[in-house]
Amino acid sequence: MNRFLQLFTNRKNLFVLLGLSVVTAIVLVAVPDAFAHGVTAGDKGYIQEITGALPMPFIYLGAKHMITGYDHLLFLLGVIFFLYRFKDVGIYVTLFAVGHVVTLLGGVLLDISINAFIIDAIIGFSIVYKALDNMGAYQRWFGFQPNTKIATLIFGLFHGLGLATKIIDYELSSDGLLVNLISFNIGVELGQVLALALILILITYWRRSGSFMRHAYSANTVLMMLGFVFVGYQMTGFFTS
């Protein structure tokens, strides 16, 4: 573990990674829909046309969003990366889910939204934050370790607000709105459980291979780079839209 932490003190490596992230973000600007967050065009049209309480379709849409939600899954990967006990995994995932539910429901029902590019950039930053946390950066840079549970809850709030912002833009019918939102949340949690189960299976298998600690730094480096790419892409969209 000491060798793992010492690797991060190499500032040259950090600047190289940041440079690669910036270059990748610039390239991605040429692909407008490559990192579009939220609901697909087909689902958007369906959401805008329907009225009344339709729990099953919204459960499906919620599960689909979570399973295909790269930002949510990357953040969760970072959260559970060094969690070995199912009890700890359950605590952190529950904190994330609570934050997600509160702002998704509250944001839509109270009509609270933030610019989609800004909120998605914050969501991208949550991935960067967790990767750096896994690298032990805050302890080495600032001499203290932020509360990981509180951070998970706070970023869960931002993730939920990001989706709420998208849903508000789609102008759901007020007829059956509460039932549909609750159903969507149920779907999100079901999708999260399915995706998390797959992630846990894969990472548990990796841990048993003996190469986990040797490549943990590299894996979190990639996670951090992807987070920077998402932030760069969203901020580019904000300034050019």
Q: What is the pLDDT of residues 208-241, one digit of tens each?
A: 887 888 889 889 999 999 999 999 999 999 999 7
**Selected residue with higher pLDDT from 48 and 230:** 230
- Total domains present in the chain: 1
Q: Spell out the residues 6+ positions from residue 182 whose beta carbon is closer than 8 angstroms to its own.
A: 55, 105
Query: Given 3-state DSSP classes, what are the helix, strand and coil percentages for the chain, each rounded to the nearest 5?
Result: 80, 0, 20
pLDDT at 94: 94
pLDDT at 42: 63
**Selected residue with higher pLDDT from 106 and 50:** 106
Query: What average pLDDT does range 90-116 have in this prediction?
Result: 91
Q: State which residues form the domain around 188.
A: 2-240
Structure-token pair, residue 139: 């302890």
Q: With cut-offs at 50, 70 and 90, classify the pLDDT of residue 38.
A: low
Under a CB-based contact definition with an 8 Å cutoff, are residues 158 and 126 in contact?
yes
Computed over every residue of the chain, the mean pLDDT equals: 82
Determine how many CB atoms are found less than 10 A away from the CB of residue 130. Answer: 26
Looking at residue 110, the DSSP 8-state letter turns out to be: T
Q: What is the pLDDT of residues 8-18, one digit of tens each?
A: 444 444 454 45
